[in-house]
Amino acid sequence: MKLLVEVDLVYKFDNATQVIASIEASHTSDQIVLSETLDVQPATQLLRDKTLTGDRRIRASMTGEVAIRYSASVENNVRQLLPETGRQHLWSELPHEVLPFLLPSRFCPSDKFMRFAQREFSNSGDGVARVMSILNWISSHVDYVSGVSDSETTAERTFVDRAGVCRDFAHLGITLSRALGIPARAVSAYALDLNPPDFHAVLEVYLENRWWLVDPTKLAPIEGIVRIGSGRDASDIAFLTSDKKCQMVSQTVTVSQAV
Amino acid sequence: MKLLVEVDLVYKFDNATQVIASIEASHTSDQIVLSETLDVQPATQLLRDKTLTGDRRIRASMTGEVAIRYSASVENNVRQLLPETGRQHLWSELPHEVLPFLLPSRFCPSDKFMRFAQREFSNSGDGVARVMSILNWISSHVDYVSGVSDSETTAERTFVDRAGVCRDFAHLGITLSRALGIPARAVSAYALDLNPPDFHAVLEVYLENRWWLVDPTKLAPIEGIVRIGSGRDASDIAFLTSDKKCQMVSQTVTVSQAV
Amino acid sequence: MKLLVEVDLVYKFDNATQVIASIEASHTSDQIVLSETLDVQPATQLLRDKTLTGDRRIRASMTGEVAIRYSASVENNVRQLLPETGRQHLWSELPHEVLPFLLPSRFCPSDKFMRFAQREFSNSGDGVARVMSILNWISSHVDYVSGVSDSETTAERTFVDRAGVCRDFAHLGITLSRALGIPARAVSAYALDLNPPDFHAVLEVYLENRWWLVDPTKLAPIEGIVRIGSGRDASDIAFLTSDKKCQMVSQTVTVSQAV
Amino acid sequence: MKLLVEVDLVYKFDNATQVIASIEASHTSDQIVLSETLDVQPATQLLRDKTLTGDRRIRASMTGEVAIRYSASVENNVRQLLPETGRQHLWSELPHEVLPFLLPSRFCPSDKFMRFAQREFSNSGDGVARVMSILNWISSHVDYVSGVSDSETTAERTFVDRAGVCRDFAHLGITLSRALGIPARAVSAYALDLNPPDFHAVLEVYLENRWWLVDPTKLAPIEGIVRIGSGRDASDIAFLTSDKKCQMVSQTVTVSQAV
DSSP string for residues in C34-81 = EEEEEEEES----EEEE-TTS-EEEEEEEEEEEEEEEEEEEE-TTPPP
Distance CA A176, CA A155 (A): 9
Query: Phi and psi dihedrals of C134, rounded to 5?
Result: -65, -45
Per-residue pLDDT tens over the stretch D5-24:
999 999 999 999 999 999 99
Question: Which among D18, D100, D109 is the nearest to A91, CB-wise?
Answer: D18
Question: Which among B20, B60, B105 is the nearest to C99, CB-wise?
Answer: B20
Query: Is C12 exposed, middle or buried, given 0-12, 13-18 or 19+ CB atoms closer than 10 A?
Result: middle
Question: In terms of Cα–Cα distance, which of D103, D62, D71 is closest to D4?
Answer: D71
Substitution target in D115, D235, D242, D246 with the highest count of A β-carbons within 10 Å is D235
Please indicate if any CB of chain D lies within 8 Å of the CB of A233: no
Distance CA A114, CA A176 (A): 8
Looking at chain D, which subunits does it touch, using at least 3 CB pairs closer than 8 Å as the criterion?
A: A, C
Query: Is A81 exposed, middle or buried, given 0-12, 13-18 or 19+ CB atoms closer than 10 A?
Result: exposed
Task: Calculate how close chain B gets to A16, using CA atoms only, in Å.
Answer: 40
Please indicate if any CB of chain D lies within 8 Å of the CB of C150: no
**pLDDT above 90 (res A125):** no
Instruction: Write the DSSP symbol of residue D168.
Output: H
Question: In terms of Cα–Cα distance, which of B161, B216, B152, B158 is closest to B184?
Answer: B216
Question: Do B3 and B74 touch, CB atoms closer than 8 A?
Answer: yes
**Coil vs helix vs strand at D52:** coil
Least CA distance to D157: which residue of chain C? Answer: C156
**pLDDT above 90 (res D38):** yes
pLDDT band at A202 (very low <50, low <70, confident <90, very high): very high
CB contact under 8 A, B116 and A160: yes
Least CA distance to B143: which residue of chain A? Answer: A115
Chain A residues close to B107, C-beta within 8 Å: none
**pLDDT above 80 (res D148):** yes
pLDDT band at A95 (very low <50, low <70, confident <90, very high): very high
Report the alpha-carbon angle B26-B88-B104, nearest 5. 65
pLDDT band at A126 (very low <50, low <70, confident <90, very high): confident
| Amino acid identity at D200 | H
Cis peptide before C196 (omega within 30 of 0): yes
Distance CA B46, CA B35 (A): 19
CB contact under 8 A, C161 and D119: no
Task: Calculate how close chain B gets to C239, using CA atoms only, in Å.
Answer: 13
Please indicate if any CB of chain A lies within 8 Å of the CB of D242: no
Establish, for the pair of chains A and B, how many residue pairs have beta carbons separated by less than 8 Å.
Answer: 34
Distance CA A9, CA A248 (A): 8
**What pLDDT is stored for residue D8 in this prediction?**
97
Cβ-proximal residues to B152 (8 Å cutoff; 6+ apart), any chain: none
pLDDT band at A49 (very low <50, low <70, confident <90, very high): very high
CA distances from A201 to A2, A98, A186, A213, C78 (A): 20, 20, 7, 11, 59
CB contact under 8 A, C59 and B102: no
CB contact under 8 A, B162 and A115: yes
CB contact under 8 A, C143 and D112: no
Looking at chain C, which subunits does it touch, using at least 3 CB pairs closer than 8 Å as the criterion?
A: B, D
In sequence order, the β-bridge partners of residue C247 are C12
Chain D residues close to A21, C-beta within 8 Å: none
Distance CA C177, CA C154 (A): 15
Kindly provide the b/e burial profile for residues B139-151, where b requires at least 16 CB atoms within 10 angstroms of the residue's own CB: eeebebeeebbee
Please indicate if any CB of chain A lies within 8 Å of the CB of D91: yes
Ramachandran region, residue B54 (left: φ > 0; alpha: ψ -120 to 50; beta: rest)? left
Task: Calculate how close chain C gets to B71, using CA atoms only, in Å.
Answer: 24
Question: Do C11 and C65 touch, CB atoms closer than 8 A?
Answer: yes
**pLDDT above 80 (res D259):** no
Per-residue pLDDT tens over the stretch D92-132:
999 999 999 999 999 999 999 999 999 999 998 889 999 99
**Coil vs helix vs strand at A129:** helix
**pLDDT above 80 (res D36):** yes
Please indicate if any CB of chain A lies within 8 Å of the CB of D103: yes
Please indicate if any CB of chain C lies within 8 Å of the CB of D111: no
Q: What's the whole-number mean pLDDT along residues C217-227?
A: 94
Contacts with C, B 191-230, CB within 8 Å = none
Task: Calculate how close chain C gets to D115, using CA atoms only, in Å.
Answer: 7
CB contact under 8 A, D141 and C119: yes
Report the alpha-carbon angle D254-D255-D259, nearest 5. 125
pLDDT band at D55 (very low <50, low <70, confident <90, very high): very high
Substitution target in B48, B121, B240, B243 with the highest count of C β-carbons within 10 Å is B243
Contacts with B, A 10-69, CB within 8 Å = none
Chain D residues close to C154, C-beta within 8 Å: none
Chain C residues close to D159, C-beta within 8 Å: 159-160
pTM of the model: 0.96
Please indicate if any CB of chain C lies within 8 Å of the CB of B102: yes
Helix, strand and coil content of chain A, in percent to the nearest 5, comes to 25, 40, 35
pLDDT band at A14 (very low <50, low <70, confident <90, very high): very high
| Amino acid identity at A58 | I
Question: In terms of Cα–Cα distance, which of A144, A154, A145, A162 is closest to A217?
Answer: A144
Q: pLDDT digit of tens for each residue in chain B (259 aa)?
A: 899 999 999 999 999 999 999 999 999 998 999 999 999 999 999 999 999 889 999 999 999 999 999 999 999 988 999 999 999 999 999 999 999 999 999 999 999 999 999 999 999 888 999 999 999 999 999 999 999 999 999 999 999 999 999 999 999 999 999 999 999 999 999 999 898 899 999 999 999 999 999 999 999 999 999 999 999 999 999 999 999 999 999 999 999 998 7
Task: Calculate how close chain C gets to D155, using CA atoms only, in Å.
Answer: 10
Per-residue pLDDT tens over the stretch D67-83:
999 999 999 988 999 99
Please indicate if any CB of chain A lies within 8 Å of the CB of D240: no
CB contact under 8 A, C160 and D119: no
Q: How far apart are the first and last CA of chain B?
A: 9
Substitution target in D108, D115, D143, D145 with the highest count of C β-carbons within 10 Å is D115
Chain A residues close to D18, C-beta within 8 Å: 90-92, 181
Please indicate if any CB of chain C lies within 8 Å of the CB of D160: yes
Question: Do A136 and D139 touch, CB atoms closer than 8 A?
Answer: no
**ipTM confidence:** 0.95
- The string of DSSP codes covering D71-85 is EEEEE-TTPPPP-S-
CB contact under 8 A, A18 and D181: yes
Chain D residues close to C120, C-beta within 8 Å: none
**What pLDDT is stored for residue C194 in this prediction?**
92
CB contact under 8 A, D104 and A57: no
Question: Which among C20, C181, C243 is the nearest to B18, CB-wise?
Answer: C181
Distance CA B24, CA B226 (A): 10
Cβ-proximal residues to B188 (8 Å cutoff; 6+ apart), any chain: B22, B199, B200, B201, B227, B228, B229, B230, B237, B238, B239
In sequence order, the β-bridge partners of residue D213 are D204
Substitution target in C160, C172, C175 with the highest count of D β-carbons within 10 Å is C160
Least CA distance to C116: which residue of chain D? Answer: D162
Cβ-proximal residues to B102 (8 Å cutoff; 6+ apart), any chain: B91, B94, B178, B181, B183, C241
Per-residue pLDDT tens over the stretch A61-76:
999 999 999 999 999 9
Contacts 24+ apart (CB under 8 A), C38-43: C38/C68, C38/C69, C38/C70, C39/C68, C39/C69, C39/C70, C40/C66, C40/C67, C40/C68, C40/C69, C41/C66, C41/C67, C41/C69, C42/C66
**What pLDDT is stored for residue D183 in this prediction?**
98
**What pLDDT is stored for residue C125 in this prediction?**
86
